[in-house]
Structure formats: structure tokens, C-alpha cells
A and B are shown apart, each in its own frame.
Chain A
Amino acid sequence: MATRQFFSNELEGLRNDVLRMGRLVSEAIEKSVTALVTQDLALAQQIMDGDDEIDRMQIDIEDRCILLIARQQPMAKDLRILSTGLKIITDMERMGDHAFDIAKLVLAIGKRPLIKPLVDIPIMAQLASNMLSDALEAYVRMDVALAEAVWRADDTLDAHYLAARDKLMQFVGGEVPPEDARQAVQLLLVATYLERIGDHTTNIAEGVIYLETGQRVRTK
């Protein structure tokens, strides 16, 4: 007879909910930049409204982790699944907030034409969203190699961030109307949020490696 079936089922359910939350966050990130590129204000508003659901899921998952710790006294890997889960949802909640922040900037920019065609920012959004999907895939499959790949991908994300930052700083340094300078700063903030999102995914990847191996790794 299998023991701790109930606990195993609960862990499985929790893991599925972490994934569900991750999909919402990943969608929010992609859509926030789509809203920016297409200047779709309704979409931006939709992302901002959707953040409540992400916050609600974080609280729900956190409560359930706490209950499982209190009631099931997890040890070893079981304990690492829960402690890592708690960290992952904290990182994801913050990523959701950054998608919210980007959507807010989209509304602030409004329908005013973009100062330049966006190159690095859409690539960053796609990268960040893929990194999150991969980090979560690594969490579910307990795949250390995939987690390490997420880490490495962050270097590419950072390179795009630096490129976007340099171009925007250069732009602001020139003779430009204040409204355009203002938009450049707003776009710089978008790039910064995406860079932060990347860092949160590397936290998740580090968590997965700890979960699987019990080893702490930190490169950043």
C-alpha cells in the first residue's frame, strides 16, 4: 500500500497551480509588449486588470504551502519542493507586477507615435517569456540542464537590454523635443522591467537546481 498518497496528490496539485500561474504571467509579459508595439490601450488595460488574478493565485498557493508545511511536516526533497515553490511564486508575482508596470507605461504613452521602431524590446519580451516557460518546464520535469540553459539565456537578454539602453540614452542626449525625451525614458523603463523579469527567471532556475540537487548555485 502506498503511503502519503494524500500528501503526494497535494504536492502535484500545487505544482500544477504554480504552472497555471506561470502561464498567466508569461502571457501578461508577452501581451504587455504587444500592447506597446501595437499601441493597443485596451489590451494594456486588460493586462492591468488581470494582475489581480495573479496576485490571488500567489496568495492561494502560499497559503496551501504553509498548510502543507504545518500539517504534513515535509522533509528533504518534499521540503525543497515547497520552499522552492514559495520562492517561485514570489518571483512570478513580481514579474506579473512588472508586466503591469509596462502596461501602465503603454497607457501613459498613449497614441503618440513611437519615437523609433522597437527592435530590442520585443526580442527581450519574447526571450523573457520563453525563459519563464523553460524555467517552469525545468521545475516540473526537475530538469537541471534546462534550468542551466535558462541561466545562460539571461546573458542574451542582458545584451539586448544594454543595446536598448545605449540607443535610448543616445537619443535623449541629442536635440529632441521634451515629449520625445519623455517617451525615451518610458521605453527605457520598459527595457529595465524586462531585464528584471529575466533576473527573476534566473532565480527560478536556481531554485530548480537547488530543488533537484540540494546544491546552491548563484551566478548573479
Chain B
Amino acid sequence: MTTKNKKIEVSRLCLYYGESQALKNVSLDMIENNVVALIGPSGCGKSTFLKTLNRMNDLVESVHIEGEVLVDGENIYGPDIDVVHLRKRVGMVFQRPNPFPMSIYENIAYGPKIHGLRDKRKLDEIVEKSLRGAALWDEVKDRLHTSAMGMSGGQQQRLCIARLLAVEPEVLLMDEPCSALDPISTMKVEELITELKDRYTIVIVTHNMQQAARVSDMTAFFLSGEMVEYNETDSIFTRPQDKRTEDYITGRFG
């Protein structure tokens, strides 16, 4: 039952940067515990779309949004929404790993601390649980108090994921999380995504179509601000319905 719950429902979403329209009437539902991949050429609107899911676009001047984004049935653009709380529930991992210039431990404990937690034992627990959740514990447990800046790029990215898990989110947004990583680190992050989806709903933007094929349950193809096709990943990569999707995934685009 729970696996069929709609976690996110987007309807008739339009987004404008000033005069120019970046998203055109996008509607799609995302199911709880699914991985949804957003693919499409540069400038197609996939990252913009991702950011609408936790209102990161609020930070951009002159953005104007129409339509609805519901998380658990609640419109996140409604007047009563606490954006800080929303971003705790719907967290984001970025293209380049961006650990804070502090220890591994403090990176993870930072979120719970600013949300008011002071209990050292509880913090220890959260740090361990989050690092285990991000499949990083065994690699760093003996150097928790060394700087996070000394970690490899792949470890830093998993640290950023662990940092997100520490504030107990429900949805993870990932904006090209592997584009700065080598193939082995990429595989580790992908493996992690597959493990995390048991507990979270994950939306990932990727330039790497093969990655979308490997990790996602559903794939949405964006082109010029329009969502051309949204279907099960199995279908998108073996028998897409739209010619434009076919052209893109077979590299015959343009």
C-alpha cells in the first residue's frame, strides 16, 4: 500500500525567469520510495524543475511560479508554508560536494544542532546512523574529528548525503550528484541511492542518461521547458513513446 502513495504531485507548473518561461505546464506525480530521474539537454528546465520541489528558486530574483506542487497533499507554495521546515523535509544534494570546512563529525551534527539538539549522546547516535546510512561509516569512523576537506570527492559527496540524512528528510533531491566524481565513486553513490530509496523518495537530475537508466524507477524527459515524456524507466529506455525522447536517448538529437 505505502509504496503506491503519491509523495509529490505537480500540476500545471509554469515557471518564469522574468519574461522568459523556463517550465511550461508541467504535471507529474511521484510515488513514495521511488527514484525519479529527470533527463534532458542543457537548458531544458530539469534543474529548475528540481529546485521548485523545495522552493530553492525562491532565492532567485524575478522568478514567478504558477501551478501547484503538493508534498503529501499539501501545496508547498501555500501561504502557511514554513520554507525552512520544507527544506528539512525535502533536502538537496548538489553537483559539487560542498562539505563545511569543519570536522566530519561537525558536518553531520550541524543540522541537528541548529534545529536545537544539544544532547551529546544523541548527537553521537545521529552521526553514526547518518554515516552508516550514507555507506560511509566504515571508511571514516576512525577519523570523525578530522577535517572533511581531506576526504576524497566521492566521500565528500556521500558526507553531504549523510549530512542531509541527519535532519531526517523525506525526499532527497539530487542535482547531478555524480558529475564531479570518478566512475568508482559514481557507482558507490548509485549503489547508495538504491539503498536509500527504501526509506526516502528520491529525485535526481542527471546529464548522464546511463545513470538515469541504472538508478531510477521512473524517468521524465524534459525539452525546452516542457516535460515530453514521463514513464517507467524500463519503458523509456527500451520503447519510448515520443520520437523526441527516442532521438535524445539514442544520441540522435538535434
Contact = CB atoms under 8 A, between A and B. Distances in A.
**A and B pair up:** yes
Interface of A: 1-6, 66-67, 70-73
Interface string B223-240: 000000000011001100
Nearest to B135: A1
Nearest to B213: A71
A73 B210 contact: yes
Contacts of A4: 187, 191
A66 B238 contact: yes
- Chain B, interface SS category: helix
Contacts, number: 32
B191 A3 contact: yes
Contact of A71 (B138, B184, B234): B234
Contacts of B25: none
B11 interface: no
Contact of A1 (B188, B210, B233, B238): B188
Nearest to B234: A67
A71 B214 contact: yes
B250 to A, nearest CB: 11
Given A6-B194, A66-B238, A72 B214 contact: yes
Given A1-B135, A3-B184, A70 B237 contact: yes
Given A1-B135, A6-B194, A71 B233 contact: yes
Nearest to A71: B213
Nearest to B183: A3
Nearest to B136: A1
A70 B188 contact: no
Contacts of B234: 67, 71
Contact of A67 (B138, B187, B190, B238): B238
A5 B238 contact: no
B187 to A, nearest CB: 4
Interface string B215-254: 0000000000000000001100110000000000000000
B187 A70 contact: no
Contacts of A70: 213, 237-238
A3 B234 CA distance: 21
Contacts of B190: 3
Given A67-B234, A70-B237, 18 more contacts: A1-B191, A2-B191, A3-B191, A4-B187, A4-B191, A5-B194, A6-B191, A66-B238, A67-B238, A70-B213, A70-B238, A71-B213, A71-B214, A71-B237, A72-B213, A72-B214, A73-B210, A73-B214
B172 to A, nearest CB: 18
Contacts of B194: 5-6
